[in-house]
Structure 1
Amino acid sequence: MEYNTNRLKLVIPEYGRNIHKMIDYAIQIKNRKKRNRCAWGIIKLMTSSIHPKFQKSIPYFQHKLWNQLFIMSKYQLDIDTPFPKPNTKEPYRISFCRKVVYPKYLTNFRYYGKIIRNMIDAAIRCKDTQKKEGLFYAIANTMKKNYLRWNKNMVEDDVIFNDLKELSKGKICLMKNTDPLLQCSHIMRYRKKEKY
């Protein structure tokens, strides 16, 4: 069995391994007419793999396909084309998407979201102590709702308080002997009403 890790790396992976194999086959054809027909067939296949809506929106669409055909053949394909061949000295650059860098806040406590983190920062900056305490409990209740959306199991207030303490880097510490948070059953019942 042949695994992809043992195979050659694809030049343009979007077209798949079969298109690359067809191009390699076309390079080996000795008769120029057959090679040209094979190249046109490959271009038709490449065109069929792209949605027609995007074919019209991309300027010079056919020209790009022919350039990509030459790139995938590593400029070894000798055929007659309707467009000028790309310059081999200055390789045609394919703009690939950069790898998406995920923010650090997504690594732990993803289910709370970024807005909760912004709310915690705003509550810590608040000057009025009574208002600050109310914000802390509002944030804790919102965290409990978010937790229950993510995980349908019941959650104790201590878990939310510890998560809040960790998210605020120890600046917010709510004790269990103070006011309890909303009951899980109340939050779940409210969610069921929203669905219907």
Structure 2
Amino acid sequence: MEYNTERSHLNMPEYGRIVQALVERCKILETKEERNEMAVAIVDFMGQRNPQLRDEENYKHKLWDHLFILAGYDLDVDSPYKITTQEELQSKPKPMEYPKLQGDFKFYGKSILQLIEKAIELEAGEEKEALIEVIANNMKKSYNVYNKEHVHDDVIFRHLKELSENRLDLTNIESLDKSKIYYATNKNNKNSRYNNNNNQNKRRNFKSKNNRN
């Protein structure tokens, strides 16, 4: 009985020992014409055994790459594609560049930076002012959620100025109705306080009624 530990190493076990044996056979064929013909047949067979690869982009190119991996890059055949070298496969990918916020403003998120850039591009007018109001409101909400504390408007103005690299300065926009900024937040806070007070009054009335009884 032959054990797997005694057999030759499988470079890609998912293709099985049959495909590996065909590749080894292709490597020792005498003429390049015979090797080319067999290589094409092996690639077609690999595609049949792994039909899920057909859903991927450039799956034929991938199959030829796999053929050379199976052969340990020791296969003299003509490939219809540029074959990825062993060095390229083993090289580590370049580190991804992540967007960085200035200073300690990471809690504002990338979307705020995108909105700021959009506002900078707009010409002065109602559309620009409306977008600035949206930016300021969202900045205050993000600040309150992250820091769990109330933030004064002048802090948001200063942060907006820094994030925009002094290109958006609310203190210099006289036409902007700053009373609209944070209106929704303040309104929600008022409603919340009203509901809390209302609930407290109900509890006091309930206790007073029970005491009289």
| Higher share of residues assigned helix | 2
Same fold? TM cut 0.5? no
TM range (shorter): 0.3 to 0.5
**Max Rg structure:** 2
